[in-house]
Chains A and B, each alone.
Chain A
Amino acid sequence: MADIAATDVPTAALLPGETDKATLRLHRAIMIGIAIALVIAPFVAYPVFVMKVLCFALFALAFNLLLGYGGLLSFGHAAYFGMASYVCAFTAKNWGLTPELAILLGTSVAAALGALIGALAIRRQGIYFTMITLALAQMAFFFSLQTPRFTGGEDGIQAVPRGRLFGLIDLSDDRTLYWLVAAIFMAGLLAMYRIIHSPFGQVCKAIRDNEPRAISLGYRANQYKLAVFVLSASLAGLAGSTKAIVFQLASLTDVHWSMSGEVVLMTLVGGLGTVFGPIAGALVIVSMQNYLASLGAWVTVVQGVIFVICVMTFREGIVGVIANRIKRPL
Chain B
Amino acid sequence: MEFAGFTAVSGVDLQVTRGSIHALIGPNGAGKTTCFNLLTKFLAPTRGSIVFNGRDITREKPAEIARLGLVRSFQLSAVFPQLSVLTNVRIALQRRKRGDSFDFWRSEEVLRSLDREALALVEAVGLSAYAELPAVELSYGRKRALEIATTLALDPEMLLLDEPMAGMGREDVERIEALIRKVSKNRTILMVEHNLSVVASLSDRITVLARGQVLAEGTYAAVSKDPRVVEAYIGSGVGHGH
Contacts and interface: CB of A to CB of B under 8 A. Distances in A.
What is the size category of the interface that chain B forms with chain A?
A: 35 or more
B51 interface: no
Contact of A205 (B74, B80, B139): B80
B170 interface: yes
B169 A199 contact: no
A200 B100 CA distance: 8
B21 interface: no
A310 to B, nearest CB: 21
A217 B137 CA distance: 22
A175 interface: no
Interface in A182-222: 194-195, 197-203, 205-206, 208-210, 212-221
Interface string A26-47: 0000000000000000000000
Contacts of B110: 199
Given A13-B129, A217-B71, A199 B87 contact: no
Interface string A70-86: 00000000000000000
Q: What 3 A-B pairs are tightest by C-beta distance, nearest first?
A: A218-B66, A4-B169, A199-B101
Interface of A: 1-5, 7-8, 10, 13-14, 16-19, 194-195, 197-203, 205-206, 208-210, 212-221, 223-224, 227, 231
Interface of B: 40, 42, 61-64, 66-67, 71-72, 74, 78-83, 86-87, 90-92, 94-96, 98, 100-108, 110-112, 115, 119, 129-133, 137-142, 150, 154, 167-172
20 contacts: A3-B167, A8-B142, A16-B132, A18-B132, A195-B105, A200-B101, A201-B104, A202-B83, A202-B101, A209-B82, A210-B80, A213-B78, A215-B62, A216-B72, A216-B74, A218-B63, A218-B96, A219-B95, A220-B63, A223-B100
